[in-house]
Amino acid sequence: MCKNTITIYVPNGYGMKRVESKCGNTGAYGEILLYANCEEKYVKQYPQGWRDVPGDICKHGNYVGNSYCPDHICGQCEDE
């Protein structure tokens, strides 16, 4: 995460409201907001992608908890 802010649009009444959010914050839909540079970095670090936060899906595609700790593993990871 960095100090960059991201402009996002959140539902506001019948319209959308423009807000600035810090990189790494959670957005209106529970998604993690990442500045473009950070997202690029995490995509390289976690080629398997993620659901909520970078690293929460192991290389088998299993969701392994939304911790930033890369030690979270699934049963298949354990067997390796």
Which range touches Zn ion (CB under 5 A), out of 5-13, 15-23, 25-33, 46-54?
15-23
User: Any bridge partners for residue 20, and if so which?
Assistant: 7
CB under 8 Å to 49, separation ≥6 — which residues?
43, 57
- Give the one residue of 19, 28, 43, 74 binding Zn ion; rule: CB under 5 A: 74
Q: Which residues pair with 6 in a beta bridge?
A: 21
23 in contact with Zn ion (CB under 5 A)? yes
Q: 36: which 2 tokens? A: 């473009």
Residues 33-62 that bind Zn ion (CB under 5 A): 35, 38, 58, 60
Largest interatomic CA distance in the chain = 51
State the amino acid at position 51 in one-letter form: R
Min CB(21)–Zn ion separation in Å: 11
Q: Which is nearer to Zn ion, 51 or 60 (CB)?
A: 60
Residues of the shown chain interacting with Zn ion in the complex, contacts defined by CB under 5 A: 1-2, 23, 35, 38, 58, 60, 74, 76-77
